[in-house]
Structure 1
Amino acid sequence: MYLARGFSDDPGIWLWTIGALALYVLITYGLTYRARARRGSAQPARDAVHDLKDREDPQPLDQRFVSRVIMLCGAGITGLVAALTSGVVRTLAVGLTIGVAATAWAYYDHRTARRASAQR
């Protein structure tokens, strides 16, 4: 039985996707924790968790667009790397690409969140 063209029945793709999103959350938490600790928070871990879930202020449209472009380019590059490699090299290359893309995305969101809160 064929599924829609371009969609794989491989559960590994879902694991890679969930892993990339988990990596983004972990990196965002780490950056927020570091910022809270530098500012002298009494409980930086708890404050960083609250910052993760308190995202009521939406990003301005231009910052949101750049954030989504970073996310989509990272996904595109990851897909290209996966298509061009195979075997163990694929696993290592895709893992490295996901790490770099998620780090860039989380760092950009962290930097723009600080600027947006400082402007208010």
Structure 2
Amino acid sequence: MFEDFMFQTIPIIVGIIFIIVIGGILFTAIRGISRWSKNNNSPELTVRAKVVAKRAAVRGGGETRAYNDYFVTFEVDSGDRIELEVKDIDYGMLVEGDVGELSFQGSRYLAFSRTGKKNWNEIV
């Protein structure tokens, strides 16, 4: 009797776990493709901006490899703030307080070039 229960239940449990795993993979893939498509359909913008904050987020670690994600918050002329993920080399080159031209497309960071001025009033 117990063996019959196990032979009937285990395939159902394995099937449910399989569906959950495949669902998670599909959800992640669709979300990534959607973000990529939205960024590609957005115009490339270049605006005056100031670096106001930087942060790094660590994923993984422990018994697996650790991954770092780098983010920089820019403040544009209108006072709005935009946080963009940047590559490690760009993260290292940017300093809080830098003022310059920010180029981005949707939520994709493209470039930042300093103007050499540290003050909003000097940029005109």
State TM-score, norm by structure 2.
0.30
Higher relative contact order (CA 8 A, sep 6+): 1
Q: Pick the structure with more strand per residue.
A: 2
State TM-score, norm by structure 1.
0.31
